[in-house]
Structures are given as C-alpha cells and as structure tokens.
Structure 1
Amino acid sequence: MPSLRILEIDGEGARTVTSAECLRLFELIGALPQITELYFYAEANLGFNDIRPLLQVETLTHLELWNVSVSMTDAELSSIGRSLPCLESLELDACPNRVPDTVPTLRGLIDLAKHALKLQRLTILISPVFRPSDTDDGALDALKLDTLTRFQCLEFLDIGKFRIGQSRLDPKWSSVVVCVLGHILPLGCTFEFWKTERPVRDEVVHRSDEEWGKVAFALDHRGRVVEVPLPEDGSL
C-alpha cells in the first residue's frame, strides 16, 4: 500500500483497543510514504509513545484520533508541530471515561503555535495553567505576551471536555487564559467548549463552566467592541 493517501479506521462499538495494538498499527502507518490523512475512531487509552510512530509521516495533513485519550506533555505536543510540517487538522478527542494521566498546558499551545504553521483545526484537551519549564529558573511571576507567537492559519479551536478534572478553569487563571488565547489565536478563530444542558450540582464544575463561558465571550468579541454601555443611573 505504498500509494495509500487517506486511511479511515473505525473501531467504535467494538472492544477497547489496547495500547500495544495501537502501537503496532501506528508503526505500520508510519511506514507509509505518501499518506496524508488518518482518521482513527476507537476507544483507547494511550501514552504519547504509542502514537509517536505517526510523527514519521511528514506528509500528514490530517491527524484525527476520536474517542482516544492520549497522555502527553507540553514538549510532546510541541514535537507534533515540529515533526508534521504539513499538518492542517489535529483532532485528539479524549474519551470522557478515560482521562489522560497528563495533558498539555497553555505552554504547550504556545509552543505548538511556533511550529504548526499550516494548522487550521485543533481539538485537544488542555490544562488551563502555565507551568515553568525545565529550563526556567524557578517559578514565573509574569508572562510576556509580546514574546508569544500567533497561530498563522488556525480557524477552529476546541479544547476539550471541561468536566474532566484537569481542564477545569480556576477563576484566578481566567484572565491569563483570555490574554494568552487572545494573543495566540488569529482574529476570527472559532473557540468552542463542551457543555451540557443538564443542571450542574458540583459547585467547582459550575464555577469552571462559568469561567470558560467568560473566556469564550472575551475571545468572540476581540476587536469588535467599539462602545461600552454605562449603568443606567450613571453612578460611579
């Protein structure tokens, strides 16, 4: 199958696929010289090393793993952008019943923007914090926004199922998330977040949902607000 360009694998409804099975499959796919699109639908819980063989396929424009939870660090997310220069769509839709042990943070998104120059669509679970890297000297007390690189082509960002513990947004991080995403996302980039219509009883989850809603509102109104309404009574 050396001339295979588009591959779709649908294992939904079957048993959970093991990491060993995925690794073997991805090793075979990694040896295909001309493949450009991979769509994989199956319930699986993987480590980053299980998908690493796919990074050999420099021709990939679409890499979509649906219902697959992949544990990865910030550095590993960045390596996807460095290894797959043609990538236009990266969709890593985590299985809600299988939470990854490790998920990227804002730092991972920032680093991905430096390398994924053609990326148009991104679905990925993140932790909405910014942690020091191994090369940082101690904890950071500020993040210089003018040093951040903007995604060049990104049109759509979905950062996962916010009810998963690692993706809950603490109010003290809301302004950081707004500022970082507002700086690295192009104007017009659609930002989506997962929410449910049923009432939320967990106060932490409810508060996180509210904070993500504020983030979405702020991003949606970047560059549009030219007039701000004042209180009706005009009081200060």
Structure 2
Amino acid sequence: MPTVLVIEDDEVTAREIVAELSVHGMTAEWIPDGRKGLDRATAQPFDLITLDRMLPGMDGIDVVAELRRLQIDTPVLMISALSDVDDRVRGLRAGGDDYLTKPFAPDEMAARAEVLLRRRVPQNDTRLRVADLELDLVRHIAYRAGQPLTLQPTEYRLLECLMRHCGQVLTRMMIFEAVWGFHFDPGTNVIDVHIGRLRRKIDGAGQPPLIRTVRGTGYMIVGSAQNTTASP
C-alpha cells in the first residue's frame, strides 16, 4: 500500500487530503510544519509527498529544493493557494513533480497522486503474487489461476494489504488502519464482513484456500493451504 507524507498546515485541507488518499488505497501521514516535514521525509522513505507551498517553519519550495539537494527523489505534488504561472514554474524548477492550485477537487488531487505513483513503481514491482493469486498494481486487477476477479475498491485494498504481508498475521487493528485509514473500532465487524466477501471471490470451489483466520488475532494470506494455528 503506497505511503504518502502530507505536509500541510491547514488542518481542514490536510484531513481532506488524508481521507481522499485513503479512499484510493494509500496510507497518509500528516505533518503541519515545513521543517518538521522535511525531517520526516529524510528520516523515512515515502512513496509520495504532497507539499503545501506556504508553510510555517520552512517554505514549501525550500523543502523540495532541500530534498533534491539531498538526492531524495520521492515524487512531490505541490499544492498552493498561489495561482500565478511564475510561482508554478518556481515550484517545478525547485524539484516539484506536479503543481495543484487551491481550491481543488479531492478526486483530482488523488488522480494526480496516482499518476506520480505509477511513474515511480519499478517495472519489476508492478505485480504481487501469492501462489496462483496475482495482483496487477498498475491496472488494479486481481487474478486467480489466470482468471480475472471482480473486486470492489475496498476488497482490492484489503487484498493488497494481505498480499504485501504474505505469511504475516495481521491484527484487525492493523488491517483497519491500513485499509480504512482511521483507528479501529473494536465494536465493528466490517473487517470480518469484507474478509468473507473477499474469500468467496478468492477461494473458489476446488482451489486451496489462501486467506486464513488466526483465532483471536486477525487474518493472514499464505502461499498454500497448510496446517497452522490458523483456520479457514
């Protein structure tokens, strides 16, 4: 699941960005300060950065320029309330990969983010495979034994989460925060419902079950049916 660093000082805008990216299968972390955002971007690799143009602590153009000076090539989507062409040119020359003017439609922002992410995915890392299950990360299509599966967006994100952690037990909290993008509500059964739907599509008749339940803990996906503490 792609990780995005959102450097934005306006809380309302930041929450809109994080929510929209979550809908599109990305995990976002919000930092409201330019200097702190730069420190976070240099401390841990991210797949994408959305960067406000005007920030406390350090200006957005200075942030992206410093990232490039440090040879950090993470794609940067600059977001600005300034709409003049000269500022756009400054942002792109400093190292930004795209420039979006406020106010913006959240789905347009997410679409631009997805374009930047597709540019970044290495050719040999565009598919995930577990046994005869395959996930095309570019076209967002899943296959089992070569046959395409019809998945809803949440089912796709859930499957991607499981496949990226093949063989690892994922707790319900881990899954909820990765797929839905907010803190787990222990009173909800939404994960179990979606796992059930995904199982019916993934584990067809006569096929070895890949999605396993770990009693009292969560779920995992395995390369083949095996005798473990997990149960179908």
TM-score by length of 1: 0.25
Bigger share in helix: 2
Bigger share in strand: 2
